[in-house]
Amino acid sequence: MSISMYQSSVPVCVRMLSNLATILKKAEAYAAAKKIDPSVLINARLAPDMFPLSRQIQIATDVTKGGAARLAGVDVPSYEDKEATFPELQERIQKTITFIQSIKPAQIDGSEERKINLKIGGNEMNFLGLPYLLTFVMPNVYFHITTAYAILRHNGLDVGKMDYLGSY
C-alpha cells in the first residue's frame, strides 16, 4: 500500500498545529495563574540568537500553508506576521488549519514530481514535490513546533510529550 502526498502532509500538519494550539491555551492559562505578563512568554527565546515564541509559530504556519499551497499548485496566502497576543497566535493557527483543509486530496496527490521553486533569505531553492515535502516542509514544521514547545517548557509550563503528540 502506498501513502499519498496529501495524507503525508495536510492531516499531519492539522494534527501538529492543533496540538500547538492546545499547548498555547495551557500557556495562556499558566500566564494568568502565575500573574506573568503574556508578552513575556510570547517574546521568550531559548537563546539570544533564536526567534521568540511568536516567530516560531509564524514560521510553523508559514511553512505549513506554503507547503500545502505549493504542492497543490495554488497561491500561498500571505499573513502579516504581527501577532503579539495568545488570541492572535491562536487565530493564525486556526486560519492556517482552515486554509490547508480547504485543499482537496486530488490537488496534492500526484505532486511528487511538481517543480517547487522558493526564495528564502535571498537564496533560490529548487525541489521536486516529494523531496520538498519530506526534506523541507515536514522537518521545518516539526522544528518550529518543537522549538515553541521547548520555549514554553523552559519557561515553566507543565507540558510533556503527550501534549506535543496529542491524544490518540
Residue 66's Cβ-side half-sphere holds a number of Cα atoms within 13 Å equal to: 19
Amino acid at 149: Y
User: What does the pLDDT read at residue 120?
Assistant: 86
Helix or strand or coil: residue 127?
strand
* Biggest CA pair distance of the chain: 52
User: What does the pLDDT read at residue 22?
Assistant: 98
CA dist., res. 4 & res. 147, Å (int): 28
Q: Which residues contact 80 (CB under 8 A, 6 or more apart)?
A: none
pTM of the model: 0.95
CA dist., res. 13 & res. 11, Å (int): 6
CA dist., res. 42 & res. 151, Å (int): 9
Domains of the chain: 12-165 (1.20.120.450)
How high is the mean pLDDT in each 10-residue block of the chain (168 residues)? Answer: 91 98 98 98 97 98 98 97 97 98 97 94 94 98 98 97 92
User: What does the pLDDT read at residue 50?
Assistant: 97
User: What does the pLDDT read at residue 1?
Assistant: 60
CA dist list (Å): 46 to 52, 56, 68: 8, 11, 29
Using alpha carbons only, give the angle 65, 25, 144 rounded to the nearest 5 degrees.
40
Backbone angles phi, psi at 91, to 5 degrees: -60, -40
